[in-house]
Structure 1
Amino acid sequence: MRWLHSVLFWSFFAASSAVLFCVALVIFLVTWPFDRNGRVLHLFSCAWAQLYFWVTPGWRLRIEGRERLPWHGPAVLVSNHQSLGDILVLFGLYRPFKWVSKASNFELPFLGWNMYLNRYVGLVRGDKDSIAKMMAECERWLNRGVPVLLFPEGTRSPDNQLLPFKEGAFRLAHNQGCPLIPIVLTGTGNTLPKHGLLLKFRADCKVRVLEPVDPRAFPDATTLRDHVRGLMEQEKARLESGATAP
């Protein structure tokens, strides 16, 4: 039955994406004169992504600490990365931010085109020029008071364990002196597989937004990175054990 469930899901995904991209294009054109940061379009994209959770009865999502995310003002958001399902889950935060995503994702029909409309930030992994361009673009958004969201692991974890963190997100926060907000998620590895298209029937996804970290309290980005990774590792263990937030 998993294959039938997957066929139905992906068929709905493809058909709905075509329709919803047309809606996104209209929103972009209508709101551009007064919403140059794309907040309205991003919030529509949040609802678009959450639609796929709503139509999958066996998937559950619980978000804690959303109130710690800003509606206005710069912040660097960092999250662990378990599967493609992370994207659907993190859109469920319903807060303005710009994704940092693989450049190849922008080439996808409808979804990638919507990413262009949202002016999310593209990145070619391992390309120094692309990394420098990404950092500069993130700094521009932060200077405009728009948060950015990055996966500091750089790729999806194959076994749901935290991978080593790259330093870029932490350099951004440290250089800009803006809050760094860790986000910990679990259970998304049971939604969309890293390889293949067969979905799982059930997934209990949890997201916990931690207290903002002031980067000015740390001497450099490396120390900040190591501190935040430790916080996230501890919180991930608590989430997986079913413990409540401290």
Structure 2
Amino acid sequence: GFNRSNKLSRYIVIRSQLAGTGILDATNSLSGVLPFGILIVAHPLALIFDPYKTKFYNLIPKLWATASIAPFFDIELEGLENLPPQNAPAVYVSNHQSIIDFYPLLTLGRSFKFIGKNTVFLYPGIGWAMYILGMIPVKRMDIRSHLEAVRRCMDLVRNGASVFFFPEGTRSKDGKLGDFKKGAFTVAAKTGVPVIPMTLIGTGEIMPAGMEHVVNSGSVKLIIHKPIKGNDPEILRQLARNTILDTLSIEAQKKKGLS
């Protein structure tokens, strides 16, 4: 495991990039600052030539996320063959364990737009980057905000972009999978695009929900499952949740067998 100073160093780097405090470690500052600077410069051109942000914006977030997490934990990707073609629209969904979940997801290099809590957009740095990248803010417990987010997602998908949801709506504090909300599956059913379920394993142990002052050693596994298609949001919701739930159970049994 990490010693105390290493924990603190990693905590400063990751938290400063997430919250925009500006306290970036000297050896890793370019991973957060340089890509953000490129986004600022290239944003006007991208709005003209790629208004739905489906091409240029794939590369920079991938490089930024990869550079940001490389010193701290490894990522194992499984099921890459299940990913749709680079610019094929889809609705991606995953379980939600930690504030760092979006880092491994961005390393896939897909153009999905995250649905994020509106308060995160207020953070200097990461919040501004989310805005520029076309991420969609939503207010918790606000029905109008959720309906508007779903409408915007359908507009994006119909224009060739992909969207990403954490259908639990919040991070799991005990690692157990919560109930899935229907928003993501309504978007997929009404637009005819596939749902791509993904299972994240390990992020909740590295930075547990509610314990953002802690960065533990560990590794992350991201499993991409086969696409699911259909026109019934409820069936899509159940299939996606069961896929992720079964995978979490299998991976937990594997881990128990190794210990």
Q: Structure 1 length normalisation: TM-score? A: 0.88
Superimposed CA distance per residue, residues 141-177 of structure 1 (whole angstroms, 9 cap, x where no aligned partner): 0101111000010000011110011111111111122
State which drifts further: 184-193 or 74-83: 184-193
Query: 2:9 aligns to what?
Result: 8
Deviations 1:216-239 (A, max 9, x none): 3xxx32232122211111122223
The number of residues matched between the two structures is 238
Query: What does the per-residue CA deviation read over 1:128-153, in whole Å, with 9 as the maximum and x for residues that have no partner?
Result: 11011101100010101111000010
What SS does the corresponding residue of 2:173 show, helix, strand or coil? coil
Q: 5 Å matches for 1:62-141?
A: 62-70=76-84, 71-141=86-156
Change (3 A) 1:51 1:199: farther
**Is the alpha carbon distance of 1:7 and 1:200 closer, same or farther for their aligned partners in structure 2, counting shifts above 3 Å?**
closer
Q: Which residue of 1 aligns with 2:224?
A: 209
Q: Which moved more, 1:24-33 or 1:94-103?
A: 24-33
Change (3 A) 1:207 1:63: same
Counterpart of 1:51 in structure 2 is 67
Q: In the alignment, is the contact (CA less than 8 A) between 1:42 and 1:118 conserved in 2?
A: no
Unmatched runs of 5 consecutive residues or more in structure 1: none
Give 5+ residue unaligned stretches, structure 2: none
Match of 2:239 in 1: 227
In 2, Cα distance between equivalents of 1:53 and 1:40: 21
Q: What is the CA–CA distance in structure 1 between the aligned matches of 2:74 and 2:69, rounded to whole Å? A: 8
Q: Distance in 2 between the 1:9 and 1:30 partners?
A: 35
Do the aligned partners of 2:11 and 2:215 also contact (CA within 8 Å) in 1? no
CA contact (8 A) 2:92 2:195 kept: yes
1:186/1:106 CA distance change after superposition, 3 Å: same
The structural deviation recorded for 1:109 is 0.6
Aligned with residue 175 of structure 1, among 187, 190, 194: 190
Q: C-alpha root-mean-square deviation of aligned residues, in Å? A: 2.0
8 Å contact 1:186–1:240 — kept in the other structure?
no
Contact 1:6 1:198 in 2 (8 A): no
Give the direction of change, closer, same or farther, for the CA distance of 1:196–1:231 in structure 2 (3 Å limit): closer
SS of structure 2 residue aligned to 1:77:
strand
Residues in 2 aligned to 1:214 and 1:20: alpha-carbon distance in whole angstroms? 35
Q: State the percentage of identical aligned residues.
A: 30
Other structure's SS at 2:168 match: coil
Cα separation, 1, equivalents of 2:59 and 2:206: 22
Q: 2-side partners of 1:185 and 1:103: how far apart?
A: 23
AA matched with 1:81: H
Distance 2:44 2:244 in 1: 39
